[in-house]
Amino acid sequence: MEIYMKKARYLKKEFDDDLVRQLLRAVKVINESKIERQFQSGIVITQRMDFED
């Protein structure tokens, strides 16, 4: 991811589906309020999803 960002000399202003698919290895749903994203580089980010009714 870092290598790509260094090569790209501009910031994207809109969502790029192809870029996201290249950077992500997997997205896992842990439970109803938590997801985990694993990047190709090996970095794993776990995020809580809070919902309001």
Spatial separation of the C-alpha atoms in residues 37 and 25, rounded to whole Å: 8
Q: Is 22 exposed, middle or buried (0-12, 13-18, 19+ CB in 10 A)?
A: exposed
pLDDT recorded at residue 35: 96
Q: Is 38 exposed, middle or buried (0-12, 13-18, 19+ CB in 10 A)?
A: middle
The pTM for the full model equals: 0.64
Kindly give the confidence (pLDDT) of every residue in the chain, 53 residues in length, as a single tens digit, with 9 standing for 90 and above.
Answer: 677 666 666 666 788 888 889 999 999 999 999 999 999 999 999 999 887 76
pLDDT recorded at residue 13: 72
pLDDT recorded at residue 1: 66
